[in-house]
Amino acid sequence: MADSDYDLSIRQYLEDGTAILRRVSDSPRLDAELLMGMVLRKPRSFLHAWPEQQLSEEEAACYEELLRRRFAGEPIAYMTGIREFWSMPLRVTPAVLIPRPETELLVERALLRLPEDEETRVLDLGAGSGAVSLAIARERPRAQVIGVDISLAALELARGNAKLQKIDNVEFRESDWFDAVRGEKFNIVVGNPPYVAEDDPHLGRGDARFEPRLALDAGVGGMNCFRAILERAHNYIVRQGWLLLEHGPDQHMALRRLMEAQHYHDITLHKDAAGRDRVTECRFVE
């Protein structure tokens, strides 16, 4: 069907798509390939193996429509419905925050506090797609992980992701922070709660524009959720147990003060791969 005047090959469409997306994306080539993969219902490896294959008119129109949506800012993860976290492809929808690579640091630090050979209990506050809960549950089969979220749509997605990944030492509960775990104690409490300041221009840029405000915006200074969590967390942590929270690059000192006010010990900051303050942990002693 190839029109001799035009090159309608996968290679050409990918090149054109990459050039267009360069203006709006940090990963234009990858985005173009993911969108092409969606259109052809093939893995990216297929695109590399068959760059000369021609697109039908219908496929080309479909690809161009996807490029338009991506150009208008729609996050690639919401378009493909998949985002990889901790090497697990997870389902994501606009009901949840798109898991960020830097959040793997929260998982890494939590794992260091979780012995492999013991039965432990872990609570994940604001589970969203389930990324953090699932990564911990996968790495610590003897741990029982409970992920809580206030959003029913998020819970449904997280439960689906657990099934998809065949992880069964995890449970997701509807909860306003600790409401659904009253009377229970955990060895470790982790959380990536909303922590963006309500007036942060970041909310109006990039993927964040399309993400649920509920999962990002934490009022003045972005501290509302941290405050709510720290007022109650000590009731749910075993003696010598740990609390680990992801936060913004400029929030460590404010968070440290809240932790000190609640008499936590061993307050320690961890930086992400980009060298930014990202996770603070502390131990509940009394």
Binding residues for ligand GLN, rule: CB under 6 A, are: 100, 192-196, 208, 216
CA gap 237, 81 in Å, rounded: 35
Retrieve residue 227's tokens. Answer: 């405050």
Angle at 280 between CA 279 and CA 282, to 5 degrees: 145
Closest CA to 97 of 236, 176, 169, 194: 194
At its nearest, how many Å lie between ligand GLN and the CB of residue 134? 17
Pick between residue 67 and residue 95 the one whose CB is nearest to ligand GLN.
95
Retrieve residue 155's tokens. Answer: 């819970």
At its nearest, how many Å lie between ligand GLN and the CB of residue 270? 15
CA gap 186, 201 in Å, rounded: 36
SS3 237: strand
CA 34, 38, 40, 43 torsion: positive or negative?
positive
Retrieve residue 92's tokens. Answer: 């994501």
CA gap 16, 27 in Å, rounded: 14
Pick between residue 32 and residue 90 the one whose CB is nearest to ligand GLN.
90
Pick between residue 14 and residue 106 the one whose CB is nearest to ligand GLN.
106
Nearby residues of 201 by Cβ (< 8 Å), 6 or more positions away: none
Pick between residue 18 and residue 103 the one whose CB is nearest to ligand GLN.
103
At its nearest, how many Å lie between ligand GLN and the CB of residue 128? 9
At its nearest, how many Å lie between ligand GLN and the CB of residue 37? 26
Q: Fill in the DSSP letter of residue 146.
A: E
Pick between residue 28 and residue 194 the one whose CB is nearest to ligand GLN.
194
32: left (phi over 0), alpha (psi -120 to 50) or beta: alpha
At its nearest, how many Å lie between ligand GLN and the CB of residue 278? 9
Pairing of strands 277-284, 265-271: antiparallel
At its nearest, how many Å lie between ligand GLN and the CB of residue 17? 26
Pick between residue 145 and residue 196 the one whose CB is nearest to ligand GLN.
196
At its nearest, how many Å lie between ligand GLN and the CB of residue 192? 5
Pick between residue 2 and residue 273 the one whose CB is nearest to ligand GLN.
273
